[in-house]
Amino acid sequence: MNREAANNKVPDGARLPSLRPEVRQRLEDAVLEIFSESDFHQANIRDVAKKAAISFSTIYNHYGSKERLLFSVVDVWLGRLTDRISDHLHGIEDLKEKVRKVFWLQLDYYERHPRLGRILFMTVPMKTWMADETFQQRKMINLFLEALKDGQRRGILNPHVRAGILLDFILGIVQRSFFMWISRGQQESLAGQSNMLFEMVWRAITLTDSPLNHSG
């Protein structure tokens, strides 16, 4: 291991922040470009190293595999989304508006950063993505689950299924919406469709006799 790699050897979750800012930025950009545009099985560290103008040995000594490299970058970007969600939810008490805001934030984030969306939803095999601990995104998921569980306790959301199933349904809409947005050539704003899509989602997850099911 070279001296640079030895000095920067830190746990997986902190690897990107351990690099110098300009190196980290080049590496992030290269990873997002290559893994969003290439088949996962064809993309490799040498391609990233060439694109980022960083030596292959430096990248390999830090990450050890293309999977760890990719998911370390993904973890950083999803961490930024989590922080954005936390900031936007501050001060919002109404459950429907909380869920609406999280739904919009996700669509808006992937519209702003389509390469990340392509990696999460299109180019990386789901089996590979799910096998990495990055997939769990506990902080982000818990923010969403707590809001959904609260809605179930208050008799607003469907209590007959686990909150996790409600979350799967919502995130499935986000994933499908992004996929079709890409497929249709990104002709309309993805976030611009958020309210229309959310109202359909809201009606699906609330109790049919809840007055909030029919609120605007």
Residue ending a domain, among 44, 67, 90, is 67
**pLDDT > 60? residue 160:** yes
- Give the pLDDT of residue 62: 86
What is the spatial distance between Cα 202 and Cα 179, in angstroms, rounded to a whole number?
21
Provide the token pair at 60: 């390999």
Written as six digits, the tokens of 14 are 């902190």
Question: What is the overall mean pLDDT for the chain?
Answer: 87
Cβ atoms of 120 and 129 closer than 8 Å: yes
Q: Decide: 186 and 114 in contact? Cβ < 8 Å.
A: yes
Question: What total of structural domains would you count in the chain?
Answer: 2
Confidence of residue 116 (pLDDT cuts 50, 70, 90): very high
Instruction: Report the CATH number at residue 147.
Output: 1.10.357.10
Separation between Cα atoms, residue 44 and residue 34, nearest integer Å: 9
Same domain, 21 and 104: no
State pTM to two decimals. Answer: 0.85
Closest among 42, 171, 19 to 99, alpha carbons compared: 171
pLDDT at 208: 64
Expressed as residue numbers, the domain containing 28 is 3-67
Judged against a pLDDT cut of 50, whether residue 31 lies above it is answered with: yes
Say if residue 99 is in the same domain as residue 47: no
Residues 96, 150, single domain; the answer is yes
Q: Are 203 and 100 found together in one domain?
A: yes
User: In this structure, are 89 and 194 located in the same domain?
Assistant: yes
